[in-house]
């Protein structure tokens, strides 16, 4: 009997959204939010869509080199919004509830986060990822698990999608 290994990212999609969703449908959901937004919110959703596509489609599905993915991750609009004191409640009010997470254990730490705190966390992790190629030879080191870091960033984006679309 052969067993197939389910990638953690795809298990997280199932845990958060059920069996009927996949990476493509979640990217479409963010795209839909972007279409209905203007200004700063549109720019943040455009960056989110772009980064989700990099991680879910190009890295996890197509196997593109992680150094190339890390170099392409965008955070400029989100960083500017944070620095300018943007009111993230304009994107989504409320807080992440435990009931939203299903069996996604990794994301339990985010219960109680509001939109601003979650997006600041995403920015921090992208900034940390941007440092890695300069600090380590990612093809040779075992000190940094790049795959786990990119998957975890992807999971944070999945949580953001769930929160924006279905939260509170």
Each residue's pLDDT tens digit, 59-76: 988 899 999 999 999 999
The whole-number pLDDT of residue 168 equals 67
Average pLDDT taken over every residue of the chain: 89
3-state secondary structure of 15: helix
With contact defined as beta carbons under 8 Å apart, do 161 and 27 qualify? no
Contact 60, 147 (CB under 8 A): no
Q: With 0-12 CB in 10 A as exposed, 13-18 as middle and 19+ as buried, what is 122?
A: buried
Global pTM reads: 0.90
95 three-state secondary structure: strand
pLDDT at residue 7 in the model: 57
The pLDDT tens digits for 67-119 are: 999 999 999 999 999 999 999 999 999 999 998 887 778 899 999 999 999 99
């Amino acid at each position: 009997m052969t067993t197939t290994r389910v990638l953690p990212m795809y298990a997280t999609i199932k845990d958060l959204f059920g069996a009927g969703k996949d990476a493509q449908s979640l990217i479409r959901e963010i795209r839909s939010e972007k279409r209905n937004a203007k200004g700063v919110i549109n720019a943040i959703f455009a960056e989110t869509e772009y980064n989700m596509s990099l991680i879910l489609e190009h890295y996890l599905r197509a196997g593109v080199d992680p150094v190339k993915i890390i170099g392409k991750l965008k955070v400029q609009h989100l960083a500017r919004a944070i620095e300018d004191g943007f009111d993230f409640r304009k994107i989504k009010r409320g807080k992440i509830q435990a009931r939203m997470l299903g069996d996604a254990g990794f994301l339990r730490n985010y219960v109680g986060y509001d939109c601003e705190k979650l997006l600041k966390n995403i920015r921090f992790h992208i900034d940390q990822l941007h440092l890695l190629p300069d600090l380590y030879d990612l093809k040779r080191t075992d000190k940094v698990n790049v795959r786990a870091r990119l998957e975890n960033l992807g999971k944070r984006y999945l949580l953001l999608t769930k929160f924006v679309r279905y939260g509170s």
